[in-house]
Amino acid sequence: MRQIFLDTETTGLDALNGDRLVEIGLIEMVDRRLTGETRHWYLNPERASHPDALRVHGLTEQFLADKPKFAAVADELLEWVAGAELVIHNASFDLGFLDAELARLGHLSIRKAAGGVRDTLLMAREMFPGKSNSLDALCRRLEVDNSSRTLHGALLDAGLLAEVYIRLTRGQDSLVIDSGDAETPGTHTVAAIDLTQFSLLVTAESEEELAAHETLLKDLDKASGGKTVWRQFMA
C-alpha cells in the first residue's frame, strides 16, 4: 500500500477568499515503511501572508519572491500522488487550499488523482476524545520527538505526522492478525509439546540474600507502623 503524508503552509486561513499556498511537503511510505522519497516546494503566493500565518511558518515575502508559482509544480504534484492514499492532519484545510489552487488551473480536485484520503485528526479524536489532538499534542502523547519544530514547516510536519500515524495505528491497520497460512479464518494449529522432557532449574537463596530480605521486611513493617499483612498472617 502506497501512502503519502502531506502538509502545507499558507498565507492565511481562507482559501476561498484569496489565501494561497506557500509550501508543500510530501513523504512517501510503502507497506508501512518510509521509502526516503519526498517532494518539497516553497511557492510564491503572489501576495503577503497574514501576520498570524507569518508567525507560524516564518516564510517572508522576500524569501518567497523568487520561488516557483503553484502552476509550475501542479503537474508533478498530481503525478506523484496518483493512486496513493493521502494521510493528512486536518485534511479539509490542506485539501481546500490544494483544490483552490488546482481549480485556478482548470484541474480536478486532488482527491480525483489520489487513491483516497485519511485524516489523522479524525482518527485521534476517536482515540482520545475530549483531549487536545493537535500535531504537537499527539507528538507529546505518543512520544514523537518534535523538539526541532520551532516553526511550522511542511516537510518537517509531514515527517512528524508519519511517525504519529505509525503509533496511532500500532503497527497494523486492522485488529485481524494474518497468520500467513491458508487455514480457515479463526482457526490455528499448535503443535503439542511434551513438557516432561524439560527439567526445571531451582536455585536456593543464600544466607546473605535471606538476611537482606528480612531487613527489607523489617523496614517495611516499621514504615507502616506494624500494619504489614504478611506479619499478621505469620503470627
Radius of gyration of the chain (CA): 28
Residues 6+ apart with CB under 8 A from 229: none
Chain centroid offset of residue 217 CA: 46
Choice among 40, 152, 188, 213 that is catalytic: 152
Q: How many CA atoms lie within 13 A of 67 on its CB side?
A: 21
Concerning whether 213 is annotated as a catalytic residue, the answer is no
Task: Give residue 111's identity as a one-letter amino acid code.
Answer: R
Distance between CA atoms of 235 and 226, rounded to whole angstroms? Answer: 12
Q: Are 158 and 7 in contact (CB under 8 A)?
A: yes
Q: Are 22 and 59 in contact (CB under 8 A)?
A: yes
Active site residues: 152
